[in-house]
Structure 1
Amino acid sequence: MNVFPVILCGGSGTRLWPMSRGGYPKQYLKLTGSDTLVQQTVRRLHGIQNVAAPIVITNNDQRFLVADQLRGMEVVPSAIVLEPVGRNTAPAVAAAALLAVESDPDALLLILPSDHVILADDVFAAIAATARDIAASGSLVTFGIEPAKAHTGYGYIRSGKPLAGTDGAWHVEAFTEKPDAATAERFLADGGYYWNSGMFMVKASVYLDELSRFEPQVIEQVRLSVAGAKRDDDFVRLEAQAFEASPNISIDYAVMEKTERAVMVAARGLKWSDIGSWSALAEISEKDADGNSLHGDVLIDSVSNSYIRAEHRMVAAIGVEGLVIVETADAVLVAHAAQSERVKKIVERLTAMGRRESVTHRKVIRPWGSYEGVDQGERFQVKRIVVNPGASLSLQMHHHRAEHWIVVRGTARVCNGDQVLLLTENQSTYIPVGVTHRLENPGKIPLELIEVQSGAYLGEDDIVRFDDHYGRVPAAL
């Protein structure tokens, strides 16, 4: 009986802005070590017995981020499933369950959010082993976190009768949505309440049966969507029309709150956090003698109880206390730690203003590598482009801009109209408006070049694509 990890990677990021953004949410960031949160989630699976390659659920916009980060770990997933629209966790897990039972009719699903931090991987493996044995008998297991305080940002699970023959597992008596402060305090005083972690272990066939019982429209539409899915390269693209017709509902609402099979294991000692704010990240970060957590090129004098992070430039702070300071290439956040959850208000305002800083970073990841804005002005902009070894951009043309490429590292093969050029360091070429062109890296090291664009319109949607290796729509670079 194999355990198929289901890693939930969809969604957008706002609570850890300016690092986490709509198009680059927190699961793809290195916030607590040398790995991103997605990579930490995958590495955590190594201690689990009979574990299959993960099934990753994400969306079309983030597909190359997921694939690139797994490739960087030399992990080949069972599938990267692309949701055409967000429909919450119940339909996503149903799609994973249908794919898992194709490989193993007795498959177990270990359902994991990709954006949580667990600092005790050995404890996680032991808890997962307990959950696996319980789920194999037909129970739907949820992981409950022993509450450290009366938190109002989490849902709660009320434990019922102990599960016979186990230690640290109970039948679930009730699920409670995020409570107000007074209710959370009462839960903590009464005992027997646990935070709902959003992690589950279920037998795929049992989950599908229970979903058919309680939410038949979900399973009906997801079955149609999986049956009509298209597979290309690393991805399973769910059929859009059927998936869009599924109700938008979480696994908690759809199944866990209704089934008689719900069981909770107490996930004690995990050192778990969903890092829902900068202050939450600061709580689990290493601190100096003055209570400061410093990351990057940071200089301080008379600073205490602050979280300061420098991603691109040196940050200096003097005589401050209880602040969150986060610097990125194009935005800086300064907030009182107690107010850091209000960063979502800033993101809402940026979105309403149409500012790209709510969605993308200055550096943008693409399947072939990345590009980063260096400078821009009236009728021009400058970018730094990195193309991975063996990768190429699409064969394309622009109506409104010309481009000048200067190679600073590596080797470029350039299709420029009827010419095919091989360029090395310090060599360049000019692409006039309306000329079909393609950039490739035939070498073994990353290709780095500076691109100078000039013209009346410099938007990324000024692309006519003729051929592309990555199955992208014409207007996506």
Structure 2
Amino acid sequence: MLIPLILSGGSGTRLWPISRRNLPKQFLSLAGKETLFQQTVQRSVALPEASAPIVVAADDHRFLAAEQLQELGVTNANILLEPVARNTAPAIAVGALQALDRDLDALILVLPADHLIGDTEAFTSAVTRARSLAEQGWLVTFGIRPDRAETGFGYIRRGDALEGDTFKVEQFVEKPRLDVAKTYLASGEYDWNSGMFLFRASRYLDELQHHAPAMLEAAKAALKKANTDLDFVRLDAEAFAAAPNDSIDYAVMEKTSHAAIVPISCGWSDIGSWDALWLAADKDANGNHVEGDVITLDTEGSLIHSHDRHLVATIGLKDVVVVTTPDATLVARRDASQEVKKVVDQLKASGRSEHDLHRVVRRPWGSYDSLESGDRFQVKRIVVKPGAALSLQMHHHRAEHWIVVKGVAEVTCDEKVFLLAENESTYLPLGSRHRLRNPGKVPVELIEVQSGSYLGEDDIIRFDDVYGRT
């Protein structure tokens, strides 16, 4: 049995301001109609003899993962929730343990959820070659054939040939300086480290027992003490936090004597920066990749994205990145786009929210858009999906007014339950228990006006919630 193991816990900070902690890049449509996560799932389930995937996701992203799987019609996936981030080695460990519950001889194909692959036929062929090695007990990694001297990736040096254009791994190399990367490219002996792997679940766990036994024990305990919540498996927080924070490369692949590599050229990109997205994207005659309402004059080699329905015009620019959202704008040299993470770090250090949330925040029941705020007031546009409902809740520090502008809402306010149609409004006093539900078949849209001494999202006491957030 070939089981795709999709790792979806990343935060994608180098693609700020589009990618943020609450909505990271793997759940965004950056190259095509589907999100990177959905494209990864589609590639994996289309492989010969592939079974339902196992997804390892951050707890904060559980509803994003579930909703995007449902959009693809994938209803039989296992979704394991990480209570804290512990890098790839522990995540793969719990995925491998889960795979053994399905099949003691299971092969797991480890795929990061945020990679782009342009040539799926080449990818499928490489998986077939890797599968043959994995069935013989090798731990196989996929090496991307380099087409440039890249300093943003780790490299793998190929060793002795095995079978069918596959090789033993001679050496893992950290991200090199540019001059060193040029020698790697010229030698033809090195491939980029893609972070994709294929091996028997049992073989990986055997290697982990040998090289990192504490990590394996923590993974076992986290899964044994896990709770099932809706369609999710919540790993035990204390047990999983005890796992060493380590990558599969450091924990296993650099130490095992059974590492093999399958070189592959498949239009791969990790979309690790705006420059990487520009390299992978379609471009116009001037080498520009534009999205949204954009006018470019005397501009070349640039990536211009307007995501807030506002016109962006550029004049006389070369090799730059301009990205706008409703609450933030990034302007940078394209070759400096790896430094975006420093902006995110500065936002965190200063206590600002733009690294964390977009102005439009998605929730399992729909979304809200923070339109305006000031001293003691805040205005939001709320959209509730058909059949969905907010939690039964109360606030200690604010009252709310709801004005329905589209659809029909069912409102609960203390002991009263009533319908609110378009152009109708209601007042929810401070301290009242209230709920909003959409009983119809079209989205409900309303304007919420909050007033009070404190308007933070943490001023919510939930009494009942269909999404298990009480």
Tell me whether the two structures share a fold, i.e. TM-score over 0.5. Answer: yes
Residue 241 of structure 1: which of 238, 241, 253 is its match?
238
| 1:60-209 correspondence to structure 2 within 5 Å | 60-163=59-162, 166-209=163-206
Q: Conserved in 1, the CA contact under 8 Å of 2:12 and 2:272? A: no
Residue 304 of structure 1: which of 293, 300, 304 is its match?
300
Q: Which runs of 4+ in 1 moved over 3 A?
A: none
Residue 28 of structure 1: aligned partner: 27
Q: Conserved in 1, the CA contact under 8 Å of 2:8 and 2:112? A: yes
Residue 224 of structure 2: which of 209, 213, 227 is its match?
227
Q: SS state of the match for residue 210, structure 1?
A: helix
Change (3 A) 1:442 1:46: same
In the alignment, the residues of structure 2 paired with residue 100 and residue 339 of structure 1 have an alpha-carbon distance, to the nearest angstrom, of 41
Deviations 1:73-132 (A, max 9, x none): 221243111111111111111101111111111111000001111111122112112212
- Residue identity in the other structure for 1:289: A
In the alignment, the residues of structure 1 paired with residue 344 and residue 229 of structure 2 have an alpha-carbon distance, to the nearest angstrom, of 35
Q: What is the percentage of aligned positions where both structures have the same residue?
A: 55
Residue 274 of structure 2: which of 272, 275, 278 is its match?
278
Q: How far apart are 1:427 and its partner, in Å?
A: 1.7
- Report whether the alignment pairs 1:409 with 2:406: yes
Q: SS state of the match for residue 321, structure 2?
A: strand
In the alignment, the residues of structure 1 paired with residue 256 and residue 16 of structure 2 have an alpha-carbon distance, to the nearest angstrom, of 37
In the alignment, the residues of structure 2 paired with residue 111 and residue 77 of structure 1 have an alpha-carbon distance, to the nearest angstrom, of 18
In the alignment, the residues of structure 1 paired with residue 383 and residue 81 of structure 2 have an alpha-carbon distance, to the nearest angstrom, of 26
TM superposition score normalised by structure 1: 0.96
Q: SS state of the match for residue 262, structure 2?
A: strand
| 1:259-408 correspondence to structure 2 within 5 Å | 259-268=256-265, 270-312=266-308, 313-408=310-405
Change (3 A) 1:330 1:77: farther
Deviates more, 1:51-60 or 1:314-323: 314-323
In the alignment, the residues of structure 2 paired with residue 398 and residue 33 of structure 1 have an alpha-carbon distance, to the nearest angstrom, of 41
Q: Conserved in 2, the CA contact under 8 Å of 1:18 and 1:328? A: yes
Q: How far apart are 1:345 and its partner, in Å?
A: 1.9
In the alignment, the residues of structure 2 paired with residue 409 and residue 132 of structure 1 have an alpha-carbon distance, to the nearest angstrom, of 53
In the alignment, the residues of structure 1 paired with residue 181 and residue 92 of structure 2 have an alpha-carbon distance, to the nearest angstrom, of 29
Deviations 1:347-387 (A, max 9, x none): 12111111111111001111111111111122111111111
In the alignment, the residues of structure 1 paired with residue 374 and residue 303 of structure 2 have an alpha-carbon distance, to the nearest angstrom, of 34
Q: How far apart are 1:306 and its partner, in Å?
A: 1.3
In the alignment, the residues of structure 1 paired with residue 280 and residue 242 of structure 2 have an alpha-carbon distance, to the nearest angstrom, of 40
Deviations 1:388-421 (A, max 9, x none): 1111111111111111111122221110111101
Q: Conserved in 2, the CA contact under 8 Å of 1:13 and 1:23? A: no
Q: How far apart are 1:135 and its partner, in Å?
A: 0.8
In the alignment, the residues of structure 2 paired with residue 99 and residue 227 of structure 1 have an alpha-carbon distance, to the nearest angstrom, of 10
Q: Conserved in 1, the CA contact under 8 Å of 2:381 and 2:448? A: yes
Q: SS state of the match for residue 196, structure 1?
A: strand
Q: Conserved in 2, the CA contact under 8 Å of 1:13 and 1:24? A: no
- Residue identity in the other structure for 1:456: S
Q: Conserved in 2, the CA contact under 8 Å of 1:56 and 1:77? A: no
Q: Conserved in 1, the CA contact under 8 Å of 2:402 and 2:427? A: yes
| 1:38-49 correspondence to structure 2 within 5 Å | 38-49=37-48
Deviations 1:20-49 (A, max 9, x none): 112221111111111111011111124311
- Report whether the alignment pairs 1:424 with 2:453: no
Q: How far apart are 1:222 and its partner, in Å?
A: 0.9
Q: SS state of the match for residue 51, structure 1?
A: coil
Q: SS state of the match for residue 15, structure 2?
A: coil
**Structure 1 regions of 5+ residues with no counterpart?**
none
Q: Report the RMSD for the aligned CA atoms in angstroms.
A: 1.2
